[in-house]
Amino acid sequence: MSLKAITANRLIDGIAVWLTPAGRWSESVYDARVAEDADSLTAMEAIAADATKACTVVDALPIDVKLEDGLPVPTKNKERIRALGPTVRLDLGKQADRLGKAA
Partner 1 sequence: MYRYDEFDETLVKERVAQFRGQIARRLNGELTEEEFKPLRLMNGLYLQIHAYMLRVAIPYGTFNAKQMRMLAHIGRKYDKDYGHFTTRQNIQFNWIKLEDTADILEDLATVEMHAIQTSGNCIRNTTADPYAGAAVDEFEDPRIWAEVIRQWSSFHPEFSFLPRKFKIAVTGAPNDRAAVRVHDIGLTIKKNAAGETGFEVMIGGGQGRSPFIAKTISEFVPRDNLLSYLEAILRVYNMLGRRDNKYKARIKILVHEVGIEEIRRLVEAEWENLKGETSVDLPAEERDRIAAYFRAPSFETLADTDTGYEARRFEDRDFRHWVRSNVVAHRQPGYAIVNISLKPTGGIPGDISGDQMDAVADIADAYALDSEIRATLQQNLVLPHVKLSDLPAVYDKLAAAGLATGNIGLAGDIIACPGLDYCNLANARAIPIAQQISDRFADLNRQYDIGNLEIKISGCINACGHHHVGHIGILGVDRKGEEHYQLTLGGRADDAAAIGEITGPGFSADGIIDAVDNVVETYLSLRQDPAERFIDTLERVGHTPFKENLYGPKAA
How many C-beta atoms surround the C-beta of residue 28 within 10 A?
Answer: 19
Query: Residues interacting with partner 1, by CB under 8 A?
Result: 9, 11-16, 52-55, 58-59, 75-78, 81-82, 85-89, 92-93
Selection from 73, 77, 87, 41 nearest residue 60 by Cα: 41
Distance of closest approach, residue 30 Cβ to partner 1, in angstroms: 17
Distance of closest approach, residue 65 Cβ to partner 1, in angstroms: 14
- Tell me the backbone φ, ψ of residue 81, rounded to 5 degrees: -65, -40
Residue closer to partner 1 by CB (options 37, 92) is 92
Helices and strands (H, E) in the chain, number of each type:
2, 5
The whole-angstrom separation of Cα 51 and Cα 96 is 27
Distance of closest approach, residue 22 Cβ to partner 1, in angstroms: 23
Residue closer to partner 1 by CB (options 21, 66) is 66
Residue closer to partner 1 by CB (options 37, 50) is 50
